A and B are shown apart, each in its own frame.
Chain A
Amino acid sequence: MAQKAIREYDGKALFSKQWEKYFSGFHYGFKSVLVTSGAELLAKAEEHGFEWLKQEPLVAKPDMLFGKRGKNDLVLFKTNKPGDVTLEDAAKWIDEKISHTTTLLSGQHGTLTHFIVEPFTPHGQEQEYYISATCVGEDDVLYMSAEGGMEVEEGWDEKVNEVVIPIDMTDVEIEHAITANIPEDIQEKDKASFTSFAIQFFKFYRDMNFAYLEINPIVMLDNNEMAILDLVARLDDTAGFMMKDVWGDIEYPTAFGMEDQSPEEKAIAEADSKSGASLKLTILNPMGRVWTMVAGGGASVVYADTIADFAEATGGSIADLANYGEYSGGPTTSETKFYADTIIDLMTRHKDPKGLDKVMIIGGAIANFTDVAKTFTGIIQSFEENAEKMKEHNTKIYVRRGGPNYEKGLKDIKEAADRLGLYIEVYGPETHVTDIVRMALEK
């Protein structure tokens, strides 16, 4: 997966690390800490270099990839009036937030765990600017506005200047393009500084292999002092091999509310990370009755599509689809067995509420180079261990696959299922790839 969001704290740390190289002439204090509890914050304040936590008024907010923290009332910047938050206030506030679950206006739901704490920066609205960059279509686009904060999102078209920067633009051309498009409304005294900052911001975004980088607002204080009040960033993680030294061990947290991955999903993800093959599993509905074990990224999508289509057409619903996932890239027999074990285990935990049979779709397109018989060996081994459980849940197995050695694979899996007394139907490339879904669901 290419684009991964990083924490605001990590994004700022990256700025700080590269500051002299890209933004010499500007100053950035990087007074930020990332903590997971009030106690941790209090402990941090005792460390050398973090005295400011005790000396300055603070701002605290969750650092968990989601935006609109202000609107969600999740930014602590005042108790009575702005700029009066003490270390103790912040610690107490954090401890309160982690003690219960939180539901955002977007509906995302979960427990807050990570907070960024920074000094409160007094400034005027006129000092707030907006800057961001990302890739749109084939080109990079730099967005700049004289209005930062929440205001920029209302009236985006009028307030934001866009600079389209094609991939083959030279540095000189980039500098010209940005200079020519600096928003009119930027204060005259800041214009030159802002221009130079914007140019360097774009180069930083580009060279650091960001997929998205937004500072909103960026505050230009006196003496070229910059305050990055809020930052959103995504990295192109495919560049990781080139950026190792620069990025360091950067963390890619899961989206808020999504972090409650099941142990099974975690186990498959772990197996995937250790393997040259691809193993993916997402549980959509643990109570669902249709479980899929599909080979290949493209095929897994058409199976999911078709199950949704037929579930609705045959009186069921999308809730019938229990999981999404795929295995591909030549997994070993033991990897395939582990994958099959996991799915069969999940499938046989709950009886179907309506008393319907469980359906296991072992699907796949015609493989280019994967040996079908070899991958089926792992599935057959799993059948052998789990046959009784599968029978208890009236599991009906539908297989469709083609590719190298598919005749043997189909014959082997049919023989094994028959021997174990499992219900199975087996099809090859003469049958349309997703037609087993129709057969299974029309029954």
Chain B
Amino acid sequence: MEKLYTKDTQAIFWNNNKTAIQRMLDYDYTIQRKTPSVAAIVAPTSGNKFEKFFYGPDEIMVPLFKSTAEAKKAHPNADVLLNFASFRTAYDVTMEAVELGGFKSIMVTAEGIPERLARKMNNAARKAGVTVIGPATVGAIVPGAFKIANIGGTIENIVNSKLHRAGSCGLITRSGGLFNELSNIIAINADGIAEGVAIGGDRFVGSVFIDNMLRMEKNPDVKYMVLLGEVGGTEEYKVIEAVKSGKITKPIIAWCIGTIAKHFSSGVQFGHAGASANADAETAAAKNKAMAEAGIHVPASFNDLPKTIKEVYTDLLANGTISKIPEPVINTVPKVRRSKEFICTISDDRGDEATYAGFPISSVATPDTGKGIGDVISLLWFKKQYPEWATQFIETVMKTVADHGPAVSGAHNAKVTARAGKSVVEALVTGLLTIGPRFGGAIDGAAQHFKYADDNGLTPAEFLGHMKKEGIPIPGIGHRIKSLKNPDLRVEGLKKFAKEYFPATPLLDYALTVEQLTTSKKENLILNVDGTIGILMVDMWRALGYTEDEINEFISSGTLNAFFIVGRSIGFIGHILDEKRLAMPMYRHPMDDILYDVPVAEKI
């Protein structure tokens, strides 16, 4: 890993920290990234599926997931985890991500993770080859490519400090507040930074100075490095060793803060938890001296640091190591932005011609386009172009369910309402409102239960036992009069079509084995038309490559019912128009068809 991040790097952000994520997206927009740097958010307690963020003047949706595993599965290319969990859970979140794999780096922001846990976490990550930034850090940045959360501060400061495009310095600090300061100093006195990491203030951090500096040594964009160390610890000596042994050859400018500590005996804690000198070698003065002796550029004081940076930069510019960097074109994030109340992801009427999922209406409407209503449904309902066998199946379903005579409850209700003098829409809605678990709902139920049985590998007998235990008749099984010997020809038609054109029909095949068992008990317990439709829809989606989760979501959101609603509307409207044509009078149910059994109410 020569560079910590590139312009294609995407992160999973653990915790829906809206301000920090918005800052990342503002940065993305400013530097004209093609994809947002946050691919997904893990928000274990949120019931939402996405969070809206501004992307320049527009808004985008970033998906929310309940767990890192789900987010990673949906966004396998996101190889950075930004762990913004609290000090109580940050360890678990990191360990889970290391175990999951696929993360190149994990940034941990929490301060005060128990030391033993921090050590375990850092060790596990190191063994897995994962770079940990932090804990107790604001993160890292590769200017012009990727920025973690709040590092660099506001977008105005980022541009002022030239953090929006790659410079030539590699910057490493402990403190997050001073990171910004150093970026600013380097922007004023040199040409900005190429990569910067605030390693974090806790005693045990995942990647230390030397880890980051060895990477920067290999990164061709980094021409020299600035290291801001602190009193306490011996990490700076590892850098000195690397310089002496030639592992680091690029010029380094370094300073250890905390020279004040020499004036006071122990007891005054200057700075971070990691900053406490336990030995002479750990004092800022000793480290500054040792670094200077190793040939590292060490200023006389922190206040002189800008001067030293300027000198080193000017030399590198003069000898041609660094050339002048052209300033790139950037986008400007608008100062005033308004969040949108509604979101539409299926159609768009803003251009010359309205589109269905990106296709102008005219390109799918007329016969010469070769597109049918199945294609329109695939675009508007599923935002996909389904293959012909699938669109034809959808049409077959809708044609099959269009009507089932005047006696079924939905059609009856529509007719009664039409005869009460109501309009087409009122009468239609009355009919549609009848659709539910008992009328038409068997499609949903069949899909759901047969899929459950198949997913869990239940034998037909086990499935029957399961449904008996649940106390519900198997949806999609049974017909009033039809049997295996006297089959329902609609079902036969659907099965024939599927057998011929579907790539595979695993759930139908399973359902037929169930049917064999049920019909052996009673002749008319056949797979009926609702069941066949529901089951074949699942087979269709499976063949189209949807995941089981996506299919379950189609079922739970009522998509199957929707096919029935659209199809049956055709029949309902037919019945309503029929009533209008016939000018039938108001309907009153004959009293002799009602059983009256009304006792006098008792006093209580």
Contact = CB atoms under 8 A, between A and B. Distances in A.
B570 interface: no
Contact of A211 (B19, B115, B161, B202): B115
Contacts of A300: 270-271
B152 interface: yes
B123 A138 contact: yes
B59 interface: no
B112 A368 contact: no
A167 B116 CA distance: 8
A297 B272 contact: yes
B120 A305 contact: no
Contacts of B188: 430
Given A2-B115, A305-B258, A403-B157, 12 more contacts: A2-B203, A2-B273, A236-B116, A297-B272, A298-B174, A299-B177, A300-B271, A301-B257, A301-B260, A305-B259, A368-B150, A369-B150
B113 A238 contact: yes
Nearest to B91: A242
Interface string B110-139: 001111110110111001000000000010
A308 B177 contact: no
Interface string B177-190: 11011001100100
Contacts of B112: 2, 238
A319 to B, nearest CB: 9
A437 B301 CA distance: 12
Contacts of A305: 257-260, 284, 301-302
Given A168-B124, A209-B116, A366 B181 contact: yes
B301 A368 contact: no
Contacts of B329: none
Contact of A298 (B88, B119, B160, B271): B271
B195 interface: no
B177 A367 contact: yes
Interface stretch (B211-219, B261-269, B423-431, B455-463): B261-269
A241 B160 contact: no
B116 A365 contact: no
B303 A429 contact: no
Given A238-B115, A282-B268, A369 B19 contact: yes
Nearest to A306: B303
Contacts of B203: 2
Contact of B230 (A301, A404, A429, A430): A301
Interface in A204-253: 206, 209, 211, 236, 238-239, 241-242
5 contacts: A209-B115, A238-B113, A238-B115, A255-B266, A403-B154
Contacts of B174: 298
Contacts of B138: 368
A277 interface: no
A433 interface: yes
B267 to A, nearest CB: 5
A66 to B, nearest CB: 12
A365 B177 contact: yes
B306 interface: yes
A239 B114 CA distance: 5
B119 A403 contact: no
A302 B257 contact: yes
Contacts of A238: 87, 112-115
Most B CB atoms within 10 A — which of A300, A305, A309, A402?
A305
B306 A432 contact: yes
Which 4 A-B pairs have CB atoms at the shortest separation, nearest pair first?
Answer: A298-B175, A239-B114, A296-B177, A365-B181
Nearest to A2: B273
Contacts of A75: none
Nearest to B264: A284
Nearest to A407: B156
A368 B264 contact: no
B176 interface: yes
A297 B114 contact: no
A297 B160 CA distance: 23
B177 A301 contact: no
A27 to B, nearest CB: 29
Interface string A266-299: 0000000000000000101000000000011111
Interface string B338-364: 000000000000000000000000000
Contacts of B113: 238
B303 A297 contact: no
A32 interface: no
Nearest to B301: A309
Interface majority SS (helix, strand, loop, mixed), chain A: mixed
Nearest to B300: A309
B153 interface: yes
Given A242-B114, A308-B263, A309-B301, A297 B175 contact: yes
A254 B275 CA distance: 19
Nearest to B180: A366
Contacts of B271: 297-298, 300-301
A301 B301 contact: no
B154 A301 contact: no
B157 A366 contact: yes
B493 to A, nearest CB: 64
A166 interface: yes
A296 B178 CA distance: 9
B116 A299 contact: no
A364 B176 CA distance: 12
Nearest to B139: A368
Nearest to A278: B111
B151 interface: yes
Nearest to A310: B303
A402 B275 CA distance: 25
Contacts of A301: 230-231, 257-258, 260, 270-271, 275
A234 to B, nearest CB: 11
Contacts of A435: 303
Interface string B151-170: 11110010011000000000
A4 B57 CA distance: 51
Nearest to B151: A368
A434 interface: yes
A298 B264 contact: no
Interface string B272-291: 11010000000010000000
A3 B116 CA distance: 12
A206 B303 contact: no
Interface string B575-603: 00000000000000000000000000000
B201 interface: yes
Contacts of B231: 301
Interface in A343-394: 364-369
A442 B184 CA distance: 25
B120 A168 contact: yes
B267 A255 contact: yes
B273 A328 contact: no
Contacts of A338: none
Contacts of B154: 403-404
A60 B366 CA distance: 101
Contact of A241 (B88, B116, B259, B301): B88
A209 B257 CA distance: 30
B177 A168 contact: no
B116 A309 contact: no
A26 interface: no
A438 interface: yes
A299 B184 CA distance: 14
A168 B272 contact: no
Interface in B229-271: 230-231, 257-260, 263-271
Nearest to B266: A255
Contacts of B275: 301
Contacts of B176: 298, 368
A1 interface: yes
A304 interface: yes
A258 interface: yes
Contacts of B301: 305-306, 309
Most B CB atoms within 10 A — which of A2, A211, A236?
A2
Contacts of B175: 296-299
Contacts of A167: 116, 119-120, 123
